[in-house]
Amino acid sequence: MSLDDLHLNLRNLTPEDYPQLKTLMDRVYHDIGGAWPKRTIERLISEFPDGQIAIEDDETLVGVALTARVDYEEFSNPHRYDDLMDQREIILNAPEGDAMYGLDVLIDPAYRGYRLGRRLYEARKDLCKSLNMRAILAGGRIPNYHQYASEMSPAEYLDQVSRKEIHDPILSFQLANDFQIKRLLRKYLPEDEKSQGYATLLEWNNILFEPAESVLDTRKTQVRVGAVQWQMREFSSVEAVLQQAEYFVDALSDYQSDFAVFPELFNAPLMGLQDRAAQQDQIAAIRFLAGFTERFKTELSRMAVSYNINIVAGSMIEEHEDGHLYNIAYLFHRDGNIEAQAKLHITPQERRDWIIEGGDDLRVFDTDAGRIGILICYDVEFPELSRLLADQDMDILFVPFWTDTKNGYLRVRHCAQARAIENECYVVLCGSVGNVPSIENMEIQYAQSSVFSPSDFAFPHDAVLAETTPNTEMIMFSDLDLTRLTVVRNEGSVTNLKDRRQDLFDLRWRDWSWKSGGRPSGSRQDDA
């Protein structure tokens, strides 16, 4: 048959199609009883019309997929084909079922080779997603097993088909269409002599399935991030810094952002409230800066609640009772909760000039707009950290940073973009700009804040969702679709997280909680 002669149309089956359907089923299923009775098909169409899918060529039926609704918990466990119907051969369709059950897929032998079966399977998957059903289940015959039954068990046969050492016309096709074998079914269809009565219980999991829940409890899948490319400048008072921060929070809230992001140590210009001579003692200067942190925490938490926005407050210096100094990123939830992530890797300059120490803990934070991680500047250059966060189902990684030169910035940028690709997540990079010669260690800044995505068809060709003008104070917005992460992690061109050779290597976080006098966990709960 010439391709020029094909005029294919995908549609739902109707009761008027039964004569053609009977002819097709008798031809394809001649070895297991042929066509369903007319009343069976009419009842199935009546109860679940969307699930009965047909392909016609110039009004001739050439392919059909028959489907029922079932309860997942019942049919994801061992069962027989007879469990799907009553004694009158009426298929037991469950109107409130949370899964689809693939009864039959049949293609006219004259039309094989045109991948029509795949077209029907894709239509089933689209229907499963649109109806928000948990999965597609199917009992799959293994019609070539009778050729090998004398030399191997059914389990060995399934293993060799899975490894493509044996071809089975049904199982090989189902595996190629992303179905997974859940278990072997015995006496599934006793009259199926070619399969020796065996079948596979197969499942295609709907990765976008969302259990029914109240609207208020539903987590957002469309998230708007607003980042502030903050200009370091001289400020005359603490109030002036807070006023500038509130201006940006207000603006980001007006644009319905879910997050407002600030750079690392964005309040560092407050060291300039000391004169230049006092700043020469840099340890004293950084302790002076730490003295403002509690007030900033109080005010930023108020802003998060008042403006209904989650604030990733870059980072600030915190001094503990033992005199140790830490670089801490605070997450101010819009419900008033406050959480913290310490910088773990301290740069040589931070250690040398400010005696900053690194924290000891790392975690993913649950928010009302996704699961997020925070790595402060230098930390993003250590890929183990973001991989540990990815193992905790992180959606968005925030990287507040402070770099002085372009080559320093590019180290952070390139590492951040690599983290987005290898961990299949979004990465938000937020830095500061401006020159403040009057303040020690703040003479120059360089930044181009950006938002990176995984690199696949659902995202921009360069995997950059948004970026600012370099070295200019401004705000940046980006809308992040969390469902795209679910899809790329399961069905992407490559699936980095799934394909890791964990039989060869693994990554573990060492627990130092037993140590006395431990450093900050980075996941403390503070009173708002």
Rounded to whole angstroms, how far apart are CA atoms 154 and 170? 15
- CB neighbours (10 Å) of residue 349? 11
- The Cα-based distances of 181 to 177, 428, 499 in angstroms read 12, 39, 18
Which residue among the candidates 203, 343, 350, 425 is catalytic per the annotation? 343
Q: Are strands 99-107 and 135-141 parallel, antiparallel or unpaired?
A: parallel
Measured CA to CA, the distance from residue 476 to residue 430 in angstroms comes to 9
Question: What is the C-alpha separation between 362 and 343, in angstroms, rounded?
Answer: 9
Q: Is 343 a catalytic residue?
A: yes
Tokens of 41: 């098909």
Q: Where do we find the tokens 């040589």?
A: 348
- The CA distance from 485 to 509, in Å, is 25
377 is catalytic: yes
Which of 56, 128, 203, 264 is the catalytic position?
Answer: 264
Q: Which residues contact 524 (CB under 8 A, 6 or more apart)?
A: 339, 340
Beta-carbon neighbour count of residue 130 at 10 Å?
Answer: 10
Q: Which residue has the tokens 């407002």?
A: 260
Pull the structure tokens for residue 202: 């197969």
List the structure tokens of 153: 């068990």
Residues 6 or more apart from 485 whose CB is under 8 A from it? 395, 424, 425, 426, 454
Among 128, 297, 299, 377, the one annotated catalytic? 377
Buried b (16+ CB within 10 A) or exposed e, 437-474: eebbbbeebbbbbbbbbbbbeebeeebbbbbbeebebe
- Residue whose structure tokens are 């980095």: 496
Report, as residue numbers or ranges, the catalytic residues: 264, 343, 377
